[in-house]
Amino acid sequence: MSCPRIEIDLRKIRHNTRTIVARLKGRGIRVSAVTKAVCGNPAIARAMLVGGAAGLAEARLSNATRLRAAGITCPITLIRTPMLSQVGDVVSVCETSYNTELSVIAALAAAALRQNTVHGIILMVEMGDRREGIMPRDVGNMAQRVVGMPGVALKGIGANFACLSGIAPTEAKMRALSVLANDVEGRCGPFIETVSGGNSANLPWAFEGRATGRINDLRLGEAMLLGVDPITGEQIRGLYQDAFTLVAEVIETDANSARFADPKLARLRLVPDTSETKRLLLAIGHQDTDAAGLSMAPGNTFIGATSDHLVLDTKDASLRVGSEMKLQMNYSALMRAMAAPDIQTNLRYDRAPPNARDVDGSSKHLASV
């Protein structure tokens, strides 16, 4: 098997999704599965759909197009405001998009009319993250404009938290979003099917047990893929944290290199030099992943990384040139590794699919995922 590679356990992703979907169902909230961190990988998307996600959500049109090319027909929502230059393809690939700019919505409407279809619009409201969104006081006006525009249909409103600012959504913010949904309906009529509360950072709020108001959707990626709360980094109870494993190959080991004979260099070592440890060089670096977001088995210490190398100290005497080493990734490391051209992905299923070569590209094996 080639190195470096990412081993992906689809059964664990399906389990994580199922667990979250079940817990949110009781709260009246459905899950839109976000595939951007895995570059719209169709097999992972299918595992999340089999796990009960109501639809898919993507930030990039290129990834959404990859999902469609693999035969996925479920609703796909573009969660990054469309580029004006892409509106035609947005309308043909995605049923719905999140929007903040009237000029873009008008262009989507024109494209939809040309394609003889209607494109769904969810208005993204700024509620404190300071990344994207319409100011709450302007949402009513904007909603009315959308409702009056042929070619588009107002589907809902949404908010996003903890991406740019790192500020977690509060109970009060969630209540304010519900009030806003009611206000918009009061003005425009019953168009607000979807009230999307945010991303994985909203799960503590959603699991808390208090009233969820009008919020009936969350857009979740990290929690299902990595089983952690994005703000605290803490494990979410009942979820797997190891659905993804990065495997890299050792290309050099040196137990007592002359490199450290120079005391000045020796001082630069970040860990005490004991005779039990040896230094390892792995063939993976900043160009492949976020090296600071990798973690490894006890007994190994991260020393540093360059564009193409990862330097470790290890107590594992069995590691030699040609050995493979397993690393766990945080969200940032995963996102970059999945996009790296030199890293292959290796999908694992709980049982062998009927025709392994077929699995990535067709939906007939859905049941085996």
Ligand X SMILES: *Cc1c(COP(=O)(O)O)cnc(C)c1O
Q: Out of 35, 199, 216, 277, point to the residue binding ligand X (CB under 6 A).
A: 199
Query: Do residues 89 and 108 make contact, with C-beta atoms less than 8 angstroms apart?
Result: no
206 binds ligand X (CB under 6 A): no
44 binds ligand X (CB under 6 A): no
Tokens 């100290």 belong to residue: 313
200 binds ligand X (CB under 6 A): yes
Shortest Cβ 331–ligand X spacing (Å): 7
Give the separation between CA 113 and CA 301, rounded to whole angstroms: 58
36 binds ligand X (CB under 6 A): yes
- CA angle 132/204/369 to nearest 5° reads 85
- For the chain, how many residues are written? 369
55 binds ligand X (CB under 6 A): no
160 binds ligand X (CB under 6 A): yes
221 binds ligand X (CB under 6 A): yes
* Three-state DSSP class for residue 329: strand
- Of 60 and 309, the one with the shorter C-beta distance to ligand X is 60
Q: Which of 29, 12, 321 is nearest to 203 (CA)?
A: 29
Strands 119-125 and 152-159: parallel
Shortest Cβ 159–ligand X spacing (Å): 9
Q: What are phi and psi of 367, to 5 degrees?
A: -65, -25
Give the separation between CA 56 and CA 40, rounded to whole angstroms: 9
Give the separation between CA 227 and CA 105, rounded to whole angstroms: 35
Q: Out of 230, 305, 337, 365, point to the residue binding ligand X (CB under 6 A).
A: 230
Shortest Cβ 337–ligand X spacing (Å): 15
222 binds ligand X (CB under 6 A): yes
Query: Do residues 359 and 347 make contact, with C-beta atoms less than 8 angstroms apart?
Result: yes
313 binds ligand X (CB under 6 A): no
- CA angle 75/77/81 to nearest 5° reads 165
59 binds ligand X (CB under 6 A): yes
34 binds ligand X (CB under 6 A): yes
336 binds ligand X (CB under 6 A): no
- Of 335 and 347, the one with the shorter C-beta distance to ligand X is 335
96 binds ligand X (CB under 6 A): no
Tokens 């940032």 belong to residue: 332
Residues binding ligand X: number (CB under 6 A): 13
Residues making contact with ligand X (CB under 6 A): 34, 36, 59, 79, 160, 199-200, 219-223, 230
